[in-house]
């Protein structure tokens, strides 16, 4: 098996001094398919990137408006939780203070027995 009869690696550059033989279309068919697949993949990735960029730009327009609309809702929710917590944490009214029973003056000693 001589040096010209060996399979040539299609990914290897020809060495100096070797004759460069161009392959016909029959050998390049898998390469063409691979290149087409790579091109289609790059095109799809570019389309996805453009769509993502449009979504980001679309949300950026009304960003401050959305925050301004969210602030009142946040305030309402926080005040609701604050009031319910305040109502739960207050202790019930203390029991009324006990009053001492009034003492009646002792009756004078009676003369009748």
pTM for the predicted model, two decimal places: 0.33
Q: How many helices (H) and strands (E) does the chain have?
A: 2, 0
Identify which of 1-10, 43-52, 67-76 has the greatest average pLDDT.
43-52
| Residues 6+ away with beta carbon under 8 Å from 10 | 23, 27, 31
Q: What is the DSSP letter of 66?
A: H
Q: Which two tokens stand for residue 74?
A: 């946040």
Q: How many Å is the Cα radius of gyration of the chain?
A: 47
Distance CA 1, CA 21 (A): 18
Q: Which tens digits make up the pLDDT trace of 46-68?
A: 999 999 988 887 777 777 777 88
Which stretch, 41-50, 75-84, 100-109, has highest mean pLDDT?
41-50
CA 20, CA 28: separation in Å to the nearest integer? 15
pLDDT band, residue 9 (cuts 50/70/90): low
């Amino acid at each position: 098996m001589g040096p010209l009869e060996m399979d040539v690696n299609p990914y290897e550059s020809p060495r100096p001094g070797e004759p460069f033989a161009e392959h016909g279309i029959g050998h390049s068919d898998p390469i063409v398919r691979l290149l087409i697949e790579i091109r289609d993949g790059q095109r799809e990735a570019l389309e996805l990137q453009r769509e993502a960029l449009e979504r980001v730009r679309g949300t950026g327009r009304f960003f401050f408006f959305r925050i301004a609309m969210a602030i009142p809702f946040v305030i309402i929710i926080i005040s609701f939780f604050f009031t319910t917590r305040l109502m739960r944490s207050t202790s019930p009214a203390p029991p009324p203070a006990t009053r001492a029973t009034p003492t009646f003056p002792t009756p004078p000693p009676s003369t009748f027995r």
